[in-house]
Structure 1
Amino acid sequence: MNDYLDELPSFAKAIRRIGEIIITNIVLIGQIPSPTFQEKKRADFLLERMAEFQVDECATDSYGNPVGIIRGTSETKPPIFVVAHLDTFFNKDSDHSFAITENSITGPGILDNSAGVGVLASLPEIFRRLDIRFESDIVLSGVIQSIGKGNLAGIRHLLQTWSGPVRGAVCLESGELGRLNYYSDGMIRCEVECNISRDDGWEHKFKPNAILTLNEVINEILAMRLPQRPRARVIIGKISGGYKHGTIAYDAKLGFEIQSKSDEMVKVIFNEIQDIVNGYSHEYEVELKLRTISNQKAARLAYNHPLVKNAVAVMKKLSLKPVSEPSESELSVFLSRNIPAVTLGITHGDHFHQENATIKIEPMYKGITQVLGVLMAIDRGVCDE
């Protein structure tokens, strides 16, 4: 059953020979701005590329996710999904020009997740060049509205409306090569917004400061007693506010994330923070609002699940060292629906989430090979128990 492992080194060499096609797809897709909720142009282009590579079926679903299907040899085996999110953190005003050298590609969004989408678009041609056939249908989808306020809406809709079972799934992320995600923590991502009245009265010199008010909220959060079991934490990730140096800040915003292996603990911590926010809103007589931006439920595969074990075997065959940690990607949606899935990184890179983000080209061929190996493992039945 594991005979496919011996084929992997030769796959990496063959993929390198068509590297120009893969790099072209990454660059063409990456240079199309695709902020969350504005992915249509990138989705349309991905659909065009899949049609050019002659997938058996391709269309946009009712939510706007581009989907391509490569028919397998069996009419009874459920399909295998390969997905990559289309949206990036950069708006349309950012310069999306990419710089290509012999060893690297640089540009905004390439590490999250333009390289992953470019590889997704290249898979039909890679399968054809390597003469790889699957028993299952392979469903390729670039899902929209994934990150931030998108709250994984694209993949949620795709799976909710898919008729029939799904055999297994692989989620593609540009980096980091060696990542093997097979579990997701429970999570609530929140914003606290503080707004202070601008009406001037005799007491205007003593108005509360929005930034300092949020600082009090932060101090209260940091003073919370969090359990070691189940593991839980609150990550303070963003704060912004104010207008200029000599003026009291009337508006400020705080972004944070609650994470735990326990969904119940996430809710408990959220409720405690809600009480903190309400208390300071009343005490300081300011407008404080707590909003939920996105959330996910805790879900996981066991380490001894055949999919995880075979993914580890694939990576070790390619001299990759697996690194596992919780993932907030589409993985959580698959796992919450009892669909075995893993998230894999394509290559190494630098300057994550920055405009000068860079991926390395050479490791990418090994990263793509691991994807093929995991797909072959799923097709041979490691998710069928």
Structure 2
Amino acid sequence: MKHIFTGLVLATFLFSNLSSAQESPEIDKKYTKEIDKLAKAKKVQTAFSLITEQEDQTMKDLVTLTEVLAPPFGEDKRGKVFASMLMDAGIDSIWTDKVGNVIGLRKGTSGAPGYVGVDAHLDVVFPEGTDVTVTKVGDTLKAPGIGDDTRGLTMLISMLKAMNKADIKTEKDLLIVGTVGEEGLGDLRGMKYMFNESGLNIDSWIAIDGGSIGRISNAGLGSKRYKLVISGKGGHSWGDFGLANPHHALGKAIDVFSKDAWAYTSGDIPKTSFNVGRIGGGTSVNSIPFESWAEIDMRALSPINLDEIEAIFKKSVEKAIAEYNASGVKGEVTYELEQIGDRPSGELPATLPLIQRAMAATQYFGVEPSLGRGSTNINIPVSKGIPSICIGRGGQGGGAHSLHEWYMNDETGAESIQLALLITLAQAGLEK
């Protein structure tokens, strides 16, 4: 199982909340030794074998969960199926919190305060009514959501089964969680509740989401999202010609913002982006609309740049609407800004024990670990300085967020579950 580690290529970090950028952080030998010793423990080896033996059932679980659609803000049905699987796998206790997170508790032996959390998200991007029937073509399973992140949920079930069958006990309590609201306008509401309102003392977090084995995110890509709604009186395109038109005002607002934002993002700053993703409004081609709207996404590596691009957006809209109303139109338009997304940025140093353990565990499986960033569930704990990582789900897959999404299991499928287990046991402590 163990192979020779061939190299380490890691990202250069630019976050302003770290004292300095880190180039090619190394794995401390003490963590390599810790992981090697842990992985060779008899019960851990037994659990690894069980994970491989369970692969057929894990794939059946994948089909079952995939065919229970979990649209944005509609994760309840899938949550119940996932909870049932956790109970069948032998979780100690289970509950669903007020926002819909399904939380399983596996008690540790030390009585030490603080939980180690492991999660995959329940929700998919697809709306109610989407056909999520799984089809099989050769070794490939096809269905919307089958990879992102349904595969992650099945990994949690396999891990729990293997721990129980191998009689593995951890020193610290484990939380095994199916979270809600990771995708799109869900705006990480599940994780925001877990870390801001639940009252749970969580001291580290391991998320399983997209990507191949070896992917380790230790940074959160922040974003701010708004819905701009412009309103007017509305009327007939001929009879009321000249009346202030929300669509025209929106076009101006987009133009002004695009020019100002492009000038800013083209400067010498860490990568910062902006996008007008959706627009709408109006009733007919021959009607002056009474409402026009657009949804805007802004992202940045640095929290400072994220705040600055947000300020540019607000100032640009205010400027554009004022200029439009002063352009000679009859009446005026008004506007409202509704924040529909707020994901904080953040980055954790590679020297943290959790990140060192994740890299050492990845190395144990003969895979080159790579640190990076993404917009995932760990944005919340990372922004609070809580040790957190997001790891890949292994196997092969593609077409995420499309109706043609697919997943094919291979040898890295079982290894990705074994890797997740190894990291979790290293962080929670194997009972001595």
Q: Confirm or deny a common fold (TM above 0.5).
A: yes
TM-score band, normalised by shorter chain: 0.7 to 0.9
* 1:199 CA drift (Å): 0.5
C-alpha spacing 1:111/1:190, structure 2 compared with 1 (3 Å) = farther
Of residues 277, 298, 310, the one that matches 1:238 is 277
What is the TM-score normalised by the length of structure 2?
0.78
Task: Say whether the 8 Å CA contact 2:281–2:293 is kept in structure 1.
Answer: no
Q: Which runs of structure 2 are paired with 1:131-150 in the superposition (5 Å)?
A: 131-150=167-186
* 1:179 CA drift (Å): 2.1
Give the partner amino acid of 2:145: G
* Other structure's SS at 1:220 match: helix
Match of 1:29 in 2: 65
Task: Say whether the 8 Å CA contact 1:176–1:345 is kept in structure 2.
Answer: yes
Distance in 2 separating the partners of 1:106 and 1:247: 44
Q: Which runs of structure 2 are paired with 1:211-360 in the superposition (5 Å)?
A: 212-213=251-252, 215-217=254-256, 219-226=258-265, 231-236=270-275, 238-241=277-280, 250=289, 253-285=293-325, 286-347=333-394, 348-360=396-408
Task: Say whether the 8 Å CA contact 2:54–2:158 is kept in structure 1.
Answer: no
Distance in 2 separating the partners of 1:163 and 1:245: 50
Task: Say whether the 8 Å CA contact 1:188–1:259 is kept in structure 2.
Answer: yes
* 1:270 CA drift (Å): 1.0
* 1:194 CA drift (Å): 4.5
Task: Say whether the 8 Å CA contact 1:172–1:343 is kept in structure 2.
Answer: yes
* 1:377 CA drift (Å): 1.9
* 1:114 CA drift (Å): 1.4
Give the partner amino acid of 1:82: V
**Is residue 2:213 matched to residue 1:177?**
yes
Distance in 2 separating the partners of 1:359 and 1:129: 27
C-alpha spacing 1:194/1:163, structure 2 compared with 1 (3 Å) = closer
What is the TM-score normalised by the length of structure 1?
0.87
Residue correspondences, number: 381
Give the partner amino acid of 1:333: I
Give the partner amino acid of 1:271: A
**Structure 1 residues not aligned, in runs of 5+:** none
* 1:19 CA drift (Å): 0.7
Which of 1 and 2 has greater Rg?
2
Distance in 2 separating the partners of 1:167 and 1:194: 44
Match of 1:188 in 2: 224
C-alpha spacing 1:102/1:226, structure 2 compared with 1 (3 Å) = same
Greater Cα shift, 363-372 or 284-293: 284-293
* 1:317 CA drift (Å): 2.1
- Residue identity over aligned pairs, in percent, reads 18
Give the partner amino acid of 2:156: L
Match of 2:241 in 1: 204
Cα deviation code 1:35-68 (max 9, x no counterpart): 1211111111111111111211112223332111
Task: Say whether the 8 Å CA contact 1:59–1:66 is kept in structure 2.
Answer: yes
**Is residue 2:375 matched to residue 1:375?**
no
Computed over aligned residues only, the root mean square deviation of the Cα atoms, in angstroms, reads 3.0
Q: Which runs of structure 2 are paired with 1:56-135 in the superposition (5 Å)?
A: 56-76=92-112, 78-101=114-137, 103-135=139-171
C-alpha spacing 1:193/1:326, structure 2 compared with 1 (3 Å) = farther
Match of 2:19 in 1: none
Give the partner amino acid of 1:349: G
Distance in 2 separating the partners of 1:221 and 1:105: 45
Task: Say whether the 8 Å CA contact 2:272–2:305 is kept in structure 1.
Answer: no
Task: Say whether the 8 Å CA contact 2:226–2:296 is kept in structure 1.
Answer: yes
* 1:147 CA drift (Å): 2.4
C-alpha spacing 1:220/1:291, structure 2 compared with 1 (3 Å) = farther
Greater Cα shift, 143-152 or 213-222: 213-222
* 1:265 CA drift (Å): 2.8
* 1:130 CA drift (Å): 4.3
Task: Say whether the 8 Å CA contact 1:186–1:261 is kept in structure 2.
Answer: yes
Distance in 1 separating the partners of 2:409 and 2:419: 15
**Structure 2 residues not aligned, in runs of 5+:** 1-33, 326-332
Task: Say whether the 8 Å CA contact 2:173–2:428 is kept in structure 1.
Answer: no
Task: Say whether the 8 Å CA contact 1:148–1:293 is kept in structure 2.
Answer: no
Distance in 1 separating the partners of 2:353 and 2:138: 38
Task: Say whether the 8 Å CA contact 2:222–2:375 is kept in structure 1.
Answer: no
